[in-house]
Amino acid sequence: MKPIITVQDVSMMFRLSKNKEYRLKEYFLNAVRGHLAFEEFWALKHISFELSKGESLGLVGVNGSGKSTLLKLIAGIMRPTSGMIKTIGTIAPLIEINGGFDRTLTARENIYLTGAMHGHTRAYMNKRFDEIVDFAELGAFVDAPVATYSSGMLSRLGFAIATLTNADIVIADEVLAVGDAKFRKKCEDRMKKMLDAGTTILFVSHSTPQVKKICQKAVWLDKGVVKMMGTSDEVCKAYEQS
């Protein structure tokens, strides 16, 4: 089967400033004088894997291991320093899940705005609107500005919209970390249904039980390199023991 996600020898480098400027004026003066100094930080080094339609891959590792950076590269938010990433089909990135909302708009308005950003017509979003609101458990708050929402409400809304847009690839970064046990179970069930329907899922979580429930495969990242790749049970067991 032709892979829907191909990551081939991907590396990502950031330039970190060694200077200690605390004001913008100081930074520009040093830039003009040629006094700025940088050091290279490689967030990812030579990452390679493939995923086919309907497969799920979990990324595990401590904070700073490169998991979120890799998701952003695959989502097209950033470009790798070297290597190649190829995806086929539409992508729904659940990265910083509530970061894309306009806080001055209501949930109703944000639902249609986000749908349009994913390329869906108003007629399509009309058909899915009630399902999104019911899943997010917004109730009477649907016409309140999202600036008044808690982080849990925002996450529920973001997840509900992103997982009802029929994307070929869903990229999820710690989306089940917020919310009560009942809602997390709803999210897990929704993701399993998406897999059954042929959606490909990339999933990051610090909860290895969640990774084992949702993902068939897993990659353990450590300081930007692949420490282990295999089934989710094998990789999560090794990661837990470490």
Q: Which domains, from first to last, does the chain contain? A: 5-31+38-241 (3.40.50.300)
The torsion angle over the Cα atoms of residues 227, 229, 233 and 237, rounded to 10 degrees, is -10
How far is it between the farthest Cα atoms of the chain?
Answer: 59
Residue in 183, 185, 186, 188 with CA at minimum distance from that of residue 172: 188
Which among 2-16, 93-107, 150-164 has the top mean pLDDT? 2-16
Report, as an integer, the average pLDDT of 227-236: 96
Region 31-44 average pLDDT: 72
Q: Which residues contact 34 (CB under 8 A, 6 or more apart)?
A: none
Element (H, E) at 191: helix 181-196
Residue 120: pLDDT over 80? yes
pTM: 0.80
CA distance 50 to 8: 8
pLDDT (mean) for 45-70: 94
Helix, strand, or coil (residue 217): strand
Residue showing tokens 């994913």: 118
Q: What would the two tokens of residue 65 be?
A: 């291991």
Task: Say which residues have a Cβ less than 8 Å from residue 184's Cβ, sequence separation at least 6.
Answer: 176, 210
Residue 241 has a pLDDT of 94
Q: What is the pLDDT of residues 174-205, one digit of tens each?
A: 776 656 778 888 888 888 888 999 999 999 98
Helix (H, G, I), strand (E, B) or coil at 165: coil
Beta strands in 136-207 (DSSP E): 169-173, 200-204
* Identity at 119, one-letter amino acid code: G
- Amino acid sitting at position 89: G
Instruction: Give residue-wise pLDDT tens across range 142-151.
Output: 999 999 998 7
